[in-house]
């Protein structure tokens, strides 16, 4: 509980209604970038932490608790076509703006993991590694990660040759080898995989 308590205490220093924003999937070669925003409930959920520090099973358990008790939360996925069209940073910002605006409760402040320059009608603060410092951002990171991982497991059923359920679209050696063997599918980000295709030709 100590780590979780520290994250919660960090948010309390801001006072009022704190929303956290984080993304999952900026780096993968395939699939969407998924962004979540969360205004957590007042009761601390034991175990909440940066999603990268948690097992997949633990993230799934916490996702259910967080979404059931949150004052408000939202999640938005920006697909690979938009990522290719406007670039990954712009796509991430777009997702962040959309998910904050989708909240049905207005926050006093929005804490954002690292990204700056969002067009939002609220006070915003960009914090490096916010998912390891802020309870609200950690909650958002879990929602984003679980939502995206579920999508990629479904994608694995459609495209089993790539191993999406295992690596979630990230550029593992296994994934790159599959792209070079089978070619890309519609979920691949063309701007991300170009060099692997070029190496093959």
Q: Is the pLDDT of residue 1 over 60?
A: no
Q: Is the pLDDT of residue 200 over 80?
A: no
What average pLDDT does the segment 7-25 reach?
A: 96
Output the CA angle 88-31-114, nearest 5 degrees.
35
pTM: 0.95
What average pLDDT does the segment 87-114 reach?
A: 97
The reply to whether 156 sits in an annotated binding site is no
The reply to whether 6 sits in an annotated binding site is no
According to the model, what pLDDT value does residue 201 have? 44
> Which one, of 148, 121, 197, 126, lies nearest residue 35 by Cα?
148
Q: How far is CA 128 from CA 112, 162, 198, in A?
A: 8, 33, 35
The reply to whether 23 sits in an annotated binding site is yes
Rounded Cα–Cα distance for residues 104 and 106 (Å): 7
Q: Is the pLDDT of residue 157 over 90?
A: yes
Spans of all domains in the chain: 2-200
pLDDT level of residue 2 (50, 70, 90 thresholds): low
Domain 2-200 maps to which CATH number in 3.30.420.10, 3.40.50.970, 3.40.50.300, 3.40.50.720? Answer: 3.30.420.10
Q: How far is CA 60 from CA 33, 57, 143, 145, in A?
A: 19, 5, 9, 9
39-55 pLDDT, tens digit per residue, is: 999 999 999 998 989 99
């Amino acid at each position: 509980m100590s780590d979780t308590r520290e994250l919660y205490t960090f948010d309390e220093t801001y006072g009022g209604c704190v929303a956290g924003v984080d993304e999952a999937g900026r780096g993968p070669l395939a699939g969407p970038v998924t962004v979540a925003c969360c205004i957590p409930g007042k009761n601390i959920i034991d175990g909440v932490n940066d999603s990268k520090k948690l097992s997949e099973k633990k993230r799934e358990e916490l996702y259910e608790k967080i979404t059931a008790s949150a004052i408000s939360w939202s999640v938005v996925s920006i697909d690979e076509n938009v990522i290719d069209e406007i670039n990954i940073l712009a796509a991430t910002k777009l997702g962040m703006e959309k998910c904050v605006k989708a909240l049905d409760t207005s926050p006093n402040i929005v804490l954002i993991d690292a990204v700056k320059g969002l067009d939002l009608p609220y006070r915003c603060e960009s914090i490096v590694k916010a998912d390891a410092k802020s309870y609200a951002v950690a909650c958002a990171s879990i929602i984003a990660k679980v939502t995206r991982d579920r999508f990629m497991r479904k994608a694995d059923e459609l495209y089993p040759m790539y191993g999406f359920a295992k690596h979630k679209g990230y550029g593992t050696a296994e994934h790159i080898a599959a792209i070079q063997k089978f070619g890309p599918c519609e979920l691949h980000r063309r701007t991300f995989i170009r060099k692997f295709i070029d190496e093959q030709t």
